[in-house]
Amino acid sequence: MVNFEFNTKPHSNSWALVLGGSSGLGFASVKKLAQNGLNICIVHRTRRSKLEEFNAACDKLRELGVKISCFNKDALQEETIEDVIRFFNDRQATLKLLLHSIAKGNLKPIYSTDKSIATLTGTDFLLTADAMAVSLYTWVKAFVAEKLFEKNSRILTFTSEGSTKPLPNYAAVSMAKASLEAIIRSMAYEYAPLLITANCIQAGVTNTESLKLIPGSDLLIDQALERNPQKRLTTPEDVANVVYLLAKPEANWINGTVIPVDGGEHLR
């Protein structure tokens, strides 16, 4: 049986909205929140080859007694935001937590002596920043305008150590993550009168599909295992546990922070 910690009644209309929630950190968070009674709306882009598996996983969560609704649409399109807002308004649903987990960035070097390797353009930086940083603000602004956030609601997103440290082929994502953290700080400050908090979770190196897309990810894994005092990688479940903790009432006073969730990896 599900623990209805967040929704005191099984048919509560309190929801989490997860942007980019079909795999990795996003879906691990979906599972953790659903197991504790929160209805989930997932906006995702899932390939046809993986859609059946994803739908089966959502059906499994529905067996817990919570509502799971999915929009297999581009979160960066205005019509997707309109569709999801309509979904909330039609059901008179309220938003307890908005979790941004969109990973869509250009992974190219700034410079290469190999003329066959494409390097970053200004457009690459702008597109990455829009997907991985500005889109969070666009969604939040729309939900604030519709007055859909509950009292003591949460805005959470995932950042990385790359926001402050250079990594090969990571410049555009690094810029986006730094921008994301700046946006979170400003939202934490300016939305405080609405009793909405905003925080970043800085996950340690986690062996997800997004990590595997980074050129040289095997080296990043080896370095993380060496640096981490517990000599293991961060798991999606490690991160999801902190999403859950930050959604609890006891976390009401945590606002505008970047919280490392890496077992101490950042210490070295």
Domain-wise residue ranges, the chain: 14-261
Mean pLDDT of 116-140: 97
pLDDT of residue 9: 52
pLDDT digits (tens, 9 = 90+) for 207-233: 887 877 777 778 888 888 899 999 999
Alpha-carbon distances, residue 165 vs 143, 161, 162 (angstroms): 33, 6, 5
CATH number for the domain whose boundaries are 14-261? 3.40.50.720
pLDDT digits (tens, 9 = 90+) for 160-217: 999 999 988 999 999 999 999 999 999 999 999 999 999 999 999 888 878 777 777 7
pLDDT of residue 214: 78
pLDDT of residue 206: 87
**Does this model's pTM top 0.85?**
yes
Mark 205-242 as b/e (b = at least 16 C-beta within 10 Å).
bbbbebbeebeebeebbeebeebbeeeebbbbebbbeb
Mean pLDDT over each residue of the chain, to the nearest integer = 93
